[in-house]
Amino acid sequence: MLMLPIAATGPGGASFVQALFTSTSAVCVTGLTVVDTETFWTPFGQAVIMLLIQVGGLGIMIFAALIGLVLARKFSVRSRLNTAAEAKTVGLDDVRGIVRGIVLTALALEAATFVFLFVRFLTGYGYPPGRAAWYATFHAVSSFNNAGFALYSDNLIGFVDDPFICLPIAAAIILGGLGFPVLLQLRKELPRPLHWSMNTKLVLSATVLLLIVGTAYITLLEWDNPATFGRLDPWARVLAGFFHSVQTRTAGFNSVDIGAMHGETWLGMDVLMFIGGGPAGTAGGIKVTTFAVLFFVMVTELRGEAAVNIFGKRLPRDVHRQAITVVIIAIAAIITATGLLMVLSGESLDRTLFESVSAFATVGLSTGITPELSAPAQLVLVVLMFLGRLGPLTLGSAIALRDHRILYEYPKERPAIG
């Protein structure tokens, strides 16, 4: 669809690589671009991108289950199993209700974001009602789904000191990045935190902590940088710091030039992007729950305790192995892609590492080199975005294609560690 002449403004339409990269970035809710979304794509092309973002944000299997629900009013067993796996739920009887809940929650939060943005575009910038509605719709969908696509050539740099644009978008990103299991539980159990699951408690506490740390880190390092925060009023610098801390949750909007930031800022953002947001949502990265599990495993080992206990509950040992597997696959993918990008592009380590982490974590922030990369280098990022959205553990399990018990054990022997 993006290769159709009607999708692009220039003669001949988009090339295969341009269309493939953009569609992958949209359906993987990444936000990396190789062409200018505002000027290269027609309204038809932009609508296709928005549709891909919505489908990718809801999840392919959840979207397919929704279509099946509308058309057939029932699910096949396979569809229910696939949807349960993607929604991170258990059992089959509750899948239909969960799909409804996910779709309604997503649409409600996107509608709320739309209202804030529509009023601001209409009254604050004098947009005609039609244009205000289109821009509000596109950015509401893009923000809740943590995509980072914007209908402006400079992304959101023109709104760097406008809290009525930045804060609604940031709120939608945070909510989308919490993950649907957390949102659905908060909708039912918000006044009763004692009833919250370990997953909800981990996601909420880690999200708040990382947002605060990220805001302080980015704001302090960029405070006097004349190319980014230095030209802003003090309150606007804090707003920009918070906004970009939110973007590292895997959204990808930017209100200042990321390429002009200090290298130290990039490094910290690499870490935040790598961690990502909550599981079974629109965010990417290894997920805050994986990071939290490894942190508590480390604390338990340093204390010399036998079991990992979190919020008064004991963590199963298979979760330890899953967390370690996710991190190792993620690191291997990022290192491999970074090396390939350096060979194919000749760019520096810090820039290629930033692009690789951003692609794998489905963030979409860029130092500005992605549009200049060769077609083979861009295809490396396509594979990385797909891997990041699919999930290292899911891909590894699919490749292995085995789930069997070994009926014997080898004798134990301990190597030296550390």
CA distances for 58 relative to 99, 164, 403, angstroms: 9, 26, 28
Q: Which residue in this structure is represented by tokens 């870490």?
A: 271
Per DSSP, 407 falls in state S
Which contacts (CB < 8 Å, 24+ apart) does range 231-236 have?
232/160, 232/161, 233/161, 236/160, 236/161
More confident residue, 250 or 405: 250
Q: What share of the chain is helix, strand, coil (3-state, %, to 5)?
A: 65, 0, 35
Q: What is the pLDDT of residue 92?
A: 47
Instruction: Please give the torsion angle defined by the CA atoms of residues 254, 259, 261 and 267, in that order, rounded to the nearest 10 degrees.
Output: 90
Six-digit token pair at 28? 């993987």
Residue 88 clears pLDDT 60, i.e. is over it: no
The average pLDDT across 19-48 equals: 94
Instruction: Please give the torsion angle defined by the CA atoms of residues 223, 226, 227 and 228, in that order, rounded to the nearest 10 degrees.
Output: 30
More confident residue, 190 or 36: 36
In this prediction, what percent of the chain has a pLDDT beyond 70?
Answer: 88
More confident residue, 308 or 78: 308
Handedness of CA 56, 354, 365, 177 (dihedral sign): positive
Six-digit token pair at 328? 């190792």
Q: What is the pLDDT of residue 81?
A: 53
Report pLDDT digits (tens) over 96-130. Answer: 777 777 888 889 999 999 999 999 999 999 999 99
Residue 91 clears pLDDT 60, i.e. is over it: no
Closest CA to 381 of 367, 394, 399, 393: 367
Q: Residue 39, by phi and psi: left (phi above 0), alpha (psi -120 to 50) or beta?
A: alpha
Please state which of the ranges 11-15, 149-153, 337-341, 404-408 shows the lowest mean pLDDT: 404-408
The answer to whether 367 and 354 are in contact (CB under 8 A) is yes
The answer to whether 310 and 296 are in contact (CB under 8 A) is yes
Q: What is the pLDDT of residue 90?
A: 46
Report pLDDT digits (tens) over 257-296. Answer: 999 999 999 999 999 999 998 887 788 889 999 999 999 9
| Residue 174: half-sphere exposure toward Cβ, Cα within 13 Å | 20
Mention every residue, 6+ apart, whose C-beta is less than 8 A from residue 180.
87, 88, 101, 102, 105, 280, 281
The answer to whether 122 and 107 are in contact (CB under 8 A) is no
The answer to whether 275 and 294 are in contact (CB under 8 A) is no
Report pLDDT digits (tens) over 363-374. Answer: 999 999 999 999
How would you class 241 by CB atoms within 10 Å of its CB: exposed for 0-12, middle for 13-18, buried for 19 or more?
A: buried
Report pLDDT digits (tens) over 388-411. Answer: 888 766 665 555 555 566 788 889
Q: Band of the pLDDT at 319, cuts 50, 70, 90?
A: confident
The answer to whether 25 and 53 are in contact (CB under 8 A) is no
Residue 185 clears pLDDT 60, i.e. is over it: yes
Residue 80 clears pLDDT 60, i.e. is over it: no
The average pLDDT across 188-193 equals: 86
Q: Band of the pLDDT at 322, cuts 50, 70, 90?
A: confident
The answer to whether 360 and 384 are in contact (CB under 8 A) is yes
The answer to whether 59 and 52 are in contact (CB under 8 A) is no
Q: What is the pLDDT of residue 101?
A: 79
Average pLDDT, the chain: 88
Q: What is the pLDDT of residue 113?
A: 97
More confident residue, 401 or 168: 168
Q: What is the pLDDT of residue 393?
A: 60
Q: H/E/C letters for each residue in 108-160?
A: HHHHHHHHHHHHHHHHHCCCCHHHHHHHHHHHHHHHHCCCCCCCCCCCCHHHC
Please state which of the ranges 150-159, 208-217, 313-322, 396-405 shows the lowest mean pLDDT: 396-405
In this prediction, what percent of the chain has a pLDDT beyond 90?
Answer: 62
The answer to whether 31 and 252 are in contact (CB under 8 A) is yes
Six-digit token pair at 39? 């000027």
